[in-house]
Structure 1
């Protein structure tokens, strides 16, 4: 028997150290070649570290949250034969995702057995959790909607994601255990609680916290809110879906918003820009790469629709759908999660009336979409019911003047309220 030492690989891009985010194995585990041992975090990406050998884990080189130098000992594995203590062949790191302006918590997860993958529900095995009625468990909007559709109270479901976040798999495991809302013991409504939970700020959560703090400290944020009558564009969308939905796919409002951004930016090139405040250089871009904020079980991610200026409505819709699916499934590549020039963020029906989105530096603008509501409006002296929606957008005042920001949003408003103008060249 020998010892095979795996050192922290060189991720590239001149990175000298990385943060150990999550261990997927523990001492005593048997591992196989290509099994993911750990996740590490660079300034730009989460990276998988796979095993190049079969063997037994005998030592871990660090703890989650620890910053480790490239070349330092990551893990030691007992192998058949002499091993290679002096120098291990470096496994090829696999980039999982790029950090975005999002909320995401990383904690240590349980080790995975290597003999055979566990059944899907087995990942989430465990007794039911009884939380207080007013306690809001961690879960994405998609999971909350899924639970609502299934008639499951989230406070009764054990979460196996980072920091106890409830995942889709947890809902399936809950159903598989045959538990129901009616059989759940009701906690005392007014019982005192003294429990506390400490969550380490490590991995992606630490990077996101740093990016958000950096964005709010460095950029001169200001927000501008305007209401838009989307009745006409919604009627157009319904008409196009009825006529072409079966052959070209269904359209949501997002492709129309992307098109409105593209057209409006022609007159406001200073908004489709990146600002390097260290070099004091503003780069205006002809290409419009639109970041689309997407909610996933692991948190908010922003895949990028590249060259939106060259896409039709259906092309944009297909790309948005493809990227959203990849992001939610954790399959989005690093390139698909970086390089945006302006970001579009929306929570759909949960979008509220007004929001104050945080810039995704080095971008200088982010357009926030609020929910659509029907309201009585006065048009030509008559009260009529219209579909209204607010845009809550933020800008970097170091680059974008308030008047230009207002005119830009008004341009988007005009395009959406008269949707034929979206396609007039």
Structure 2
């Protein structure tokens, strides 16, 4: 991170000026994602180097209609499969994983909104998405015992609630029009609010200084006596009793980002070996791409990448199957399938980004290429949820039949 980086208070963003197109099929979504990814790929290295936030790129991304692909059909959306969502994220993340990560909480919130009982509330906020509005997040806090603990307070005041608290890791908030947040009432009840970004008392601070995923703006959101109407409180009248596939959907998005990081590193490695690398002196070859040991290691990385992609697609298919009849057992099955994908995508993201340097050679480490961003992005993003606990969940189920816990991180 540049020593000149100084945290900044983010300015508000304009509201959407046009309604995004409705994407109605997997093939259409993939084609649109590929076109968008191609448009942002060339600028990814420089955005990372200069820490230039992709505000214009996110405006174009949401204008494609891809941010609305999971809106349920009952509320005017296409309700495309999670397999489609995972592929869109993978494609976009291969071009720029910061851009690939920014909408994850938008889609996670839309999934949670399915549990809301109030139909008017659901119709209103799903409708906002179809009009081009973006949702961020302000959920996790620093300094609490775990990521599932909150100090943020919700205080009833007439027909409104007053929110006070400070959040961190707020990926998406800076680019959003609405900021979902969570806190507790005086009685200890957990409430979730959808806070319009321009509400008085909301401050978004661009102070994310992680050495990877530099342009996600995953920094601080402060709520200082922020007043929101009861209509913006999710679950105020209770959430549906049927279990919700929340954790697995949240997790498969993380896995898809890591798969994209791996693909981006792999593609850059191939191009560099073909066009710039020199063969090793003992290989007897004219080109690095003819070096047998290099070829072998490229094959090994390709196999790992293929395996991760296949397990990712399998896990997405399990989620789509479970969504047809959400049960506790089904959610456990989805969690375990996604845990397997998370293990493999974590491993291949770290492996591929390291192999880029190993096989492309010393010249690939020059600052003008900024290839180290692949490893930095992989290392930082794979810390999102500790993969060591995925091994445990998978092993405990296989050995003892113990279902994994139900929360956002499994």
Please tell me the TM-score bracket, short chain as reference. Answer: under 0.3
Structure (1 or 2) with the greater strand fraction:
1
Larger radius of gyration: 1
TM-score with structure 1 setting the length: 0.23
Structure (1 or 2) with the greater helix fraction:
2
